[in-house]
Amino acid sequence: MSTPIKVAVVYYSSTGTIAEVSKHIAQSAEKAGAEVRLLKATELAPQEAIDSNAAWAANAAATTDIPDATPADIEWADAVIFGTPTRFGNVSAQLKQFIDTLGGLWAQGKLADKVYSGFTSSSTTHGGQESTLLALYNSFHHFGGIVVAPGYTDPAKFADGNPYGTSHVDAQGGNPVNQATRDAARVQAERIVRITTALKDGLAAG
């Protein structure tokens, strides 16, 4: 049997939608046989900003047990799945700041040949989900990483409708994470584990 692959799920979430999706992805990857670390990007916003939004403050309190991601976690992983809400069609500052700390690993070639993927959420149906994931994936190309998107490889992906990664429209908290999003998260996680396992086994055999 293959040695279980190592998957890091690294996310930023303010009001909790991405935090919930990340848990579904992590759980699905674990069920598929991976060793998983669920991690969050360090919060950059001041406490007064967090306290001004009840959902933001509640999510911050609910996720204190989830460790902050470090470059060592990325070096450890065979595959990394990043999650971020959309910010004007782009990656959140908190997740981008963490990615920017990976320059040392990049310079040593330690980010290359890993599998990468992403997931996102927005308040509105056309809130920049695809552009956020494509912007996120730009970094992976610079890493020399292998981007594994879910595509339309499973009927569940026609429900969430995003071939680039799992995505959810939360309507500013009005639409909780639903079964379609949970199914999409499962499909993405299982595909990451399957492809990463095949890649790792193939490289070892070669």
Q: Return the pLDDT at 188.
A: 98
Distance between CA atoms of 150 and 147, rounded to whole angstroms?
10
User: At residue 1, does pLDDT exceed 80?
Assistant: no
Strand ranges (DSSP E) for the chain?
A: 6-11, 35-40, 79-85, 115-122, 146-147, 166-169
Predicted pLDDT of residue 206: 80
**Based on the structure, what is the number of domains in the chain?**
1
**158 located within any domain:** yes
Q: What is the CATH number of the domain that holds 188?
A: 3.40.50.360
Within-domain flag for 154: yes
Confidence band of 173 (pLDDT split at 50, 70, 90): confident
CA 150 to chain centre: 12
Q: What angle do CA 14, 16, 22 make, to 5 degrees?
A: 110
Which two three-digit tokens encode residue 81? 């799945």
Handedness of CA 159, 162, 165, 167 (dihedral sign): negative
The amino acid that residue 203 corresponds to is: L
Strands (E), 32-155: 35-40, 79-85, 115-122, 146-147
Q: What percent of the chain has pLDDT over 90?
A: 93
* Per-residue confidence band for 203, with pLDDT thresholds at 50, 70 and 90: confident
CA distance 192 to 29: 8
Q: What's the rounded mean pLDDT across residues 111-135?
A: 96
pLDDT at residue 187, rounded to an integer? 98
Are 48 and 82 contacting, i.e. CB atoms less than 8 angstroms apart? no
**In the prediction, which pLDDT does 57 show?**
96
d(CA 26, CA 162) in angstroms, rounded, equals: 19
For 104-117, what is each residue's pLDDT tens digit?
A: 999 999 999 999 99
Residues 74-95 have a mean pLDDT of: 97
CA 83 – CA 12 distance, rounded (Å): 6
> What is the mean pLDDT of the segment spanning 83-107?
97
Query: What H or E segment, with its residue span, contains residue 138?
Result: helix 129-143
Average pLDDT over every residue of 140-158? 96
pTM: 0.97
| Mean pLDDT, rounded, for 30-48 | 97
- Model pLDDT, residue 3: 84
Confidence label for 96 from pLDDT (cuts 50, 70 and 90)? very high
CA-CA-CA-CA dihedral for 140, 153, 166, 87, to nearest 10: 50
On whether residue 193 sits in a domain, the answer given is yes
Average pLDDT over residues 30-50: 97
pLDDT over threshold 60, residue 189: yes
Are 7 and 196 in contact by the 8 Å Cβ rule? The answer is yes
**Domain region containing 23:** 6-205
Residue 66, C-beta contacts closer than 8 angstroms, at least 6 positions apart: 19, 38, 39, 40
**Rounded mean pLDDT of the chain?**
96
Q: What pLDDT band is residue 35 in, cutting at 50, 70 and 90?
A: very high
CB-based contacts of 79: which residues, under 8 Å, 6+ apart? 5, 6, 7, 8, 34, 114, 115, 116, 117, 148, 192, 193, 196
* Confidence band for 172, pLDDT divided at 50, 70 and 90: confident
Q: Is 1 part of any domain?
A: no
